[in-house]
Amino acid sequence: MSASTSSPPPLDEYLHAFAVPGRLSTLFNPQSLAIVGGSEKSFWAQNFFRNLERQGFTGTVVPVHPSRTSVFGRTCYASLRDLPNPVDLAYVLAPTEAVPQVLSDAEAGSVGNVVVVAAGFSEIGEHGANLQAGIVEQACRGGIAMLGPNCPGFLNIPGSVSAYGQEIPEGLKAGGVAVLLQSGALTSGVLKFSLAHGIGLSTVVCMGNEAVVRSADVLAHLVADPSTRAIAMFLEEIRDGRSFLRLAEQAIAAGKAVIVLKVGRTLAGQRSALAHTGALAGDAAVTEAALRQVGVVMVRSLEEMLLTAALLASGPRLTGRRMGVVTSSGGSCDIIADRASDEGLELPPLSEETATKIRDYLPSFATVQNPLDTAAVDTMQTTGTAASPMDVVAEIVSQDPNFDFILYMGFNMVPFSEPSASEAATVAARIDLFGETIKKSPVPILGMSQTCMDAGPFARQLYDSNDILLLGGMEFGLAAIGHAVRWDQARTELLSTSPGPETPGVSVASIGAQELTCGILSEAAGRQLLEHAGVPMVPAELVQSADDAVTAAEWLGYPAVLKICSAQLPHKSDVGGVALNLRDAGEVRAVFERMQTISQKVPEAVIDGVLVSPMRPSGTELFVGLSRDASFGPTLALGLGGVWIEALKDVAIRVLPVDRNQIVAMLRSLKGRTVLEGGRGGDPVDLEAVADVVWRIATVGASLGSRLESLEVNPLWCQGATVEAMDVLVEINPISN
């Protein structure tokens, strides 16, 4: 009897182990470190030791080098397997060709976490990809969590840890903002901007090539990390969209905002030349729609990303859109009013009681309104306390019941650098007092500067000691406020919405296995597929002769529509395969005979026959498209159809599953929703009826799973509560895929 053998588990099973948050805790919170391959001459090694000193790391640090006995005055070991005790993390500066040996030594030395700095792997092409595949297998078989390769490392500010080989600025503030970057070269700018604007950081991670530890794994760690309150992410790609969406939902349930700057537009969004869906729901559009539907905040710049994250991590929730504004500049009032409109923020008037209180306090030439320019109040009034007159005005406005929060721009007089002792004491007393005002205020008071400038070391120290966040500039500051308001609203809606039923599957076996493998279905087969899901269709009869065409037209009713039916002719009108508004038997017979000549023009086309349908009167036409995104899976695109789909490209996009209420929300989000509401004298469309039909179409996409390439109904004809699918185009991937 021979001994049984079993194949080792696939690498994916090992990779999934790193998605468990607890597995990465020792990677990002090591108590002992080894630096492999660094020497006194190495720029990276110099920074590594200097950064640890600046961070105040108190754990063990061990150099490893095959040809040295000491590095920076520390005893050096030849390899990781030679260490007297295993370390929690190895920071690997070894060259590309030496990385496999280092991983072998790490496994032998029970080192479970490594950061690999070396480049020359998948980012350079096929040869590098083969090298990377080898070290991935090594790491996974050895149970090693590998960050990188091609990765400068990470920082854990609250934990006083840095496994990072580039310069870290002094004075970084510990706080609740975690930053994940798929571009290590951006890290220096992120750190300097955070320092200049007093943004408190938790963990900053550069992902490198994501060979083993992936962005989704780190996101899972940060969602569970008690030091992190907001997660800012610079992403070039999202490899596992479904996992990302699930983690984003966990983050919002935990009260942690995820802020994403997604870059990169690919040609993959145009992959389908057979359907509109590929062009309308391209990669970038699908990604943005998918992330927004789980409450992710989408931003356009690093500055906007960091300031938004700082605001969302700072504590006060912005639970309403009504903003009171106190400034010392009329120009600032004008800019803020315009940007507030852009962000969907409201600027209600001051209550009469508030207006009366501040009218007696402000100069006679000041206009009492919201936004409020306090004019020269600081030069014409005194308070008898450390507070400035403008501070007092802000406190009065903060008591106004008309506002959900106050935007205050009274910090511009704080010196950049520390002034004389007496002036410093005066300014410090004022900021301390206003810090107390903020804490006691019934609504959040948000500080903002006029431009996105460095607040300065003296001012930052005062703000930090009073937990004051100064938003950098009106452009980025108002964007951050708008994001914070919308995030809170999205979180409230997501948490209050009971999960709807999963989009059910539909049996597709009856249309024939052979047709499922052929790619594009004929319209008759596509109609049958939708009918199994209960989708109402415009009646149609597939005929093979002119006599049968006339009989069908007379039974269905004139005027009639004739359409050639062939899987090889998805765009029937391009070859003269569609005829509308046929009034009598003579016209039907003549059109049928003409369509028989199409096979001569397109000899490769297999003609199944001609579809005969009744002509529907004018109504509202919608477009319903389903496609399979490589990262997020089946995706629904919904918009105005017919001739409008090309002209307007006005679509709402959502990743499946979807329920009827969400479909109604998609319809109401369209720019052309007035057409659905009966604008320009038309009849309003029953949105609930439309949603039910679209939901049924979505069931078909869900049933096809990975076989779905694209499915389109264009137009979906609507008249009041009557909804029917007219034209159907279905493309299915072969079963082998």
Candidates 469, 478, 417, 415; CA nearest to 451 is 478
If pLDDT is split at 50, 70 and 90, which confidence band does 364 have?
Answer: confident
Q: Is 599 exposed, middle or buried (0-12, 13-18, 19+ CB in 10 A)?
A: middle
Half-sphere exposure of 330 (CA within 13 A, CB side): 6
Q: Which fold has domain 539-614?
A: Dna Ligase; domain 1 (3.30.1490)
Q: Is 126 left (phi over 0), alpha (psi -120 to 50) or beta?
A: alpha
Look at 58-72, 200-214, 270-284, 627-641 and tell me which has the smallest mean pLDDT: 270-284
What count of other Cβ atoms lies within 10 Å of the Cβ of residue 618? 9
Distance CA 655, CA 708 (A): 14
As a whole number, mean pLDDT of residues 656-678 equals: 89
Q: What is the DSSP string of 549-594?
A: HHHHHHHH-SSEEEEEE-TT-SSGGGGT-EEEEE-SHHHHHHHHHH
If pLDDT is split at 50, 70 and 90, which confidence band does 680 have?
Answer: low
Higher pLDDT, 188 or 646: 188
If pLDDT is split at 50, 70 and 90, which confidence band does 6 have?
Answer: very low
Higher pLDDT, 551 or 672: 551
Candidates 200, 289, 183; CA nearest to 662 is 289
Tokens at residue 277, please?
């869906």
What count of other Cβ atoms lies within 10 Å of the Cβ of residue 154? 25
SS3 string, 382-449, reads: CCCCCCCHHHHHHHHHHCCCCCCEEEECCCCCCCCCCCCHHHHHHHHHHHHHHHHHHHHCCCCEEEEC
What percentage of the chain reaches a pLDDT higher than 90?
Answer: 69
Tokens 């992902």 sit on residue: 207
Distance CA 214, CA 503 (A): 29
Annotate 553-562 with b (16+ C-beta within 10 A) or e (fewer). Answer: beebeebbbb
pLDDT, tens digit, 9 for 90 and up, residues 288-333: 999 999 999 999 999 999 999 999 999 789 999 999 999 988 999 9
Cα 30 to Cα 34, 58, 60, 114, 207: the distances in Å are 10, 11, 9, 11, 18
Distance CA 74, CA 61 (A): 9
Tokens at residue 577, please?
């395969």
Cα 235 to Cα 111, 232, 510, 735: the distances in Å are 29, 10, 43, 33
pLDDT, tens digit, 9 for 90 and up, residues 418-461: 889 999 999 999 999 999 999 999 999 999 999 998 888 999 99
As a whole number, mean pLDDT of residues 223-233 equals: 97
User: Residue 340: is its pLDDT beyond 60?
Assistant: yes
Tokens at residue 497, please?
């919405």
Candidates 135, 114, 112, 123; CA nearest to 184 is 123
Q: Is residue 86 within 8 Å of 107, Cβ to Cβ? A: no
What is the assigned CATH class of domain 11-264+277-312?
alpha beta
Phi, psi of 347 (to 5 degrees): -125, 75
Helix, strand, coil shares of the chain as percentages rounded to 5?
Answer: 40, 20, 40
Distance CA 338, CA 498 (A): 37
Whole-number CA gyration radius for the chain:
32
Give the torsion through C-alpha atoms of 393, 396, 400, 405, to 10 deg. Answer: 60
SS3 string, 522-544, reads: CHHHHHHHHHCCCCCECCCEEEC
Q: Is the peptide bond before 371 cis (omega within 30 degrees of 0)?
A: yes
User: Residue 251: is its pLDDT beyond 80?
Assistant: yes
Q: What is the DSSP string of 275-299?
A: -SHHHHT-HHHHHHHHHHTTTPEE-
pLDDT at 673: 84
Range(s) of the chain covered by CATH 3.30.1490.20: 539-614
Name the strand (E) or helix (H) holding 35: strand 32-36
User: Residue 525: is its pLDDT beyond 70?
Assistant: yes
Annotate 311-333 with b (16+ C-beta within 10 A) or e (fewer). Answer: bbbbebbbeebbbbbbbbbeebb
pLDDT, tens digit, 9 for 90 and up, residues 7-23: 445 566 666 666 566 78
Residues in the chain: 737
Give the torsion through C-alpha atoms of 249, 254, 257, 263, to 10 deg. Answer: -40
Range(s) of the chain covered by CATH 3.40.50.261: 11-264+277-312, 316-496
As a whole number, mean pLDDT of residues 673-677 equals: 84
Query: Strand pairing partners for 145?
Result: 113
Q: Is residue 333 within 8 Å of 327, Cβ to Cβ? A: yes
Name the strand (E) or helix (H) holding 64: strand 60-64
User: Residue 162: is its pLDDT beyond 80?
Assistant: yes
Beta strands in 222-279 (DSSP E): 230-235, 257-262
Tokens at residue 572, please?
């029937």
Higher pLDDT, 533 or 488: 488
SS3 state of residue 213: coil
Look at 406-415, 426-435, 504-513 and tell me which has the smallest mean pLDDT: 504-513
CATH of 620-732, one of 1.10.10.10, 3.30.470.20, 3.50.50.60, 3.30.70.100: 3.30.470.20
If pLDDT is split at 50, 70 and 90, which confidence band does 2 have?
Answer: very low
Look at 407-421, 640-654, 666-680 and tell me which has the smallest mean pLDDT: 640-654
Distance CA 404, CA 131 (A): 56
Annotate 481-510 with b (16+ C-beta within 10 A) or e (fewer). Answer: bbbbbbbbbbbeeeeeeeeeeebeebebee
User: Residue 686: is its pLDDT beyond 60?
Assistant: yes
Candidates 457, 458, 329, 471; CA nearest to 390 is 329
Cα 433 to Cα 393, 423, 463, 594: the distances in Å are 14, 15, 12, 88
pLDDT at 268: 42
pLDDT at 393: 94
Candidates 361, 441, 452; CA nearest to 407 is 441
Higher pLDDT, 301 or 708: 301
User: Residue 682: is its pLDDT beyond 90?
Assistant: no
pLDDT at 316: 86
Rounded to the nearest angstrom, the gap between the alpha carbon of residue 416 and the centroid of all alpha carbons in its chain is 36
Long-range CB contacts (within 8 A, 24+) of 470-474: 470/197, 470/198, 470/411, 471/307, 471/310, 471/311, 471/446, 471/447, 472/197, 472/303, 472/307, 472/448, 473/448, 473/449, 474/332, 474/335, 474/336, 474/339, 474/448, 474/450
pLDDT, tens digit, 9 for 90 and up, residues 692-707: 999 999 988 888 888 8
Domain over 316-496 is classified CATH 3.40.50.261:
yes
pLDDT, tens digit, 9 for 90 and up, residues 604-645: 888 999 999 999 998 889 999 999 888 898 999 999 886 556
Q: What is the DSSP string of 331-394?
A: HHHHHHHHHHHHTT-B-PPPPHHHHHHHHTTS-TT----SSEE-TTHHHH---SSSS-HHHHHH
Q: Is residue 567 within 8 Å of 536, Cβ to Cβ? A: no
As a whole number, mean pLDDT of residues 136-153 equals: 94
User: Residue 267: is its pLDDT beyond 90?
Assistant: no
Phi, psi of 174 (to 5 degrees): -75, 140
pLDDT at 311: 98
Report which residue type is found at 735.
Answer: I
Report which residue type is found at 532.
Answer: H
pLDDT at 506: 44
If pLDDT is split at 50, 70 and 90, which confidence band does 648 have?
Answer: low
Tokens at residue 14, please?
């090992």
Candidates 671, 683, 682; CA nearest to 640 is 671
Provide the mean pLDDT of the chain: 88
pLDDT at 21: 66
Give every strand in the sheet of 297-298, ordered side by side.
161-164, 153-156, 201-206, 174-181, 230-235, 257-262, 297-298
As a whole number, mean pLDDT of residues 709-715 equals: 91
Query: Strand pairing partners for 325?
Result: 407
pLDDT, tens digit, 9 for 90 and up, residues 168-227: 999 999 999 999 999 999 999 999 999 999 999 999 999 999 999 999 999 999 999 999
CA angle 66, 72, 77 (to 5 degrees): 30
What count of other Cβ atoms lies within 10 Å of the Cβ of residue 565? 24
